[in-house]
Amino acid sequence: MTRLSVNINKVALIRNSRGQNLPDLRKVASDCESFGAQGITVHPRPDERHIRYADLPILKEVVTTEFNIEGYPSEKFIQTVCQVKPHQVTLVPDPPGVLTSNEGWDTIGQQKMLIPVIQKFKDQGIRVSLFLNAEESLVEAAKDTGTDRIEFYTGKYAQEFPEDPKKAIQKHVNAAKLAAKLGLGINAGHDLNLENLKYYAQNIPNLDEVSIGHAIVCDALYYGLKSTILMYRSLLK
């Protein structure tokens, strides 16, 4: 079954808005796991507008399922992640100041840069995933970087899903089949929600994990956090 990793960036954003420790990220992470989350994801950014670098070792102490840290591999990011040693690091090509992750790596043009970075994490026993657009050429080049997994950017899929689900997912299906053939694990994330998640999970072969944050926090405003996580888990069965 595809694992659900809950991204708690938006919870940290709420906390930071008042300058206090409310909500308490330690408790939220632990509660998400007790409610059914099979992993916790965070994405520290240079301005630390939500998750702060100081949060990472604290969360590592309490996460009992799987801790996934996303981010751009700056020197600070690499050094901190290697110290914290999460179960997985997901490398995202975000330039400073970007609002949200909206495209994947160019694993062809940036391959030489990615290879030594990925090796640094693997030397520390950290599984590496590369954020990637669902293009077969990029998947093939990702294999040569030494990464363990890829994470498909699903923003475009989510945008096109209401009009034509089959067309929206086709590139992802093709890219996933190639990834499996190459021995790459497959994750996915960005704008997956209660409407489009089940179709995606049912049609993508060998889907290991989805990372969802914004939609879960929005749905939790209406359904509550526990009920929302259970709803998302039910779509992945």
Give rounded-to-5 percent helix, strand, coil for the chain. 45, 15, 35
**pLDDT of 79 over the 60 cut:** yes
> Residue 82 is part of which domain span?
3-235
pLDDT tens, residue by residue, 15-61: 999 988 999 999 999 999 999 999 999 999 988 999 999 999 999 99
Q: What is the pLDDT of residue 157?
A: 98
* Catalytic hit among 33, 50, 135, 190: 190
User: Which residues are CB-neighbours of 18 under 8 A, at least 6 positions away?
Assistant: none
The string of pLDDT tens digits covering residues 144-174 is 999 999 999 999 999 999 999 999 999 999 9
**∠ Cα 182 183 186 (to 5°):** 105
- CA–CA separation, 44 vs 111, rounded Å? 23
* 71 vs 46 pLDDT, higher one: 71
The answer to whether residue 190 is catalytic is yes
Tell me how far apart the alpha carbons of residues 158 and 46 are, in angstroms, rounded to a whole number.
Answer: 27
Going through the chain in order, the beta strands assigned E by DSSP cover 3-7, 39-42, 67-71, 88-91, 127-132, 149-153, 185-189, 207-212
DSSP H or E stretch at residue 118: helix 111-123
The pTM assigned to this predicted structure is 0.95
- The number of domains in the chain is 1
Catalytic residue among 70, 135, 151, 209: 70
Q: What is the CATH number of the domain that holds 200?
A: 3.20.20.70
Rg of the chain over all Cα atoms, to the nearest angstrom: 17
Q: Is 50 a catalytic residue?
A: no
**Which one from 43, 66, 151, 209 is the annotated catalytic residue?**
43
Question: Catalytic: 214?
Answer: no
Residue 10, H or E segment: helix 9-18
pLDDT number for residue 100: 60
d(CA 49, CA 127): 26
Q: Write out pLDDT tens, residues 170-211.
A: 999 999 999 999 999 999 999 999 999 999 999 999 999 999
pLDDT at 223: 98
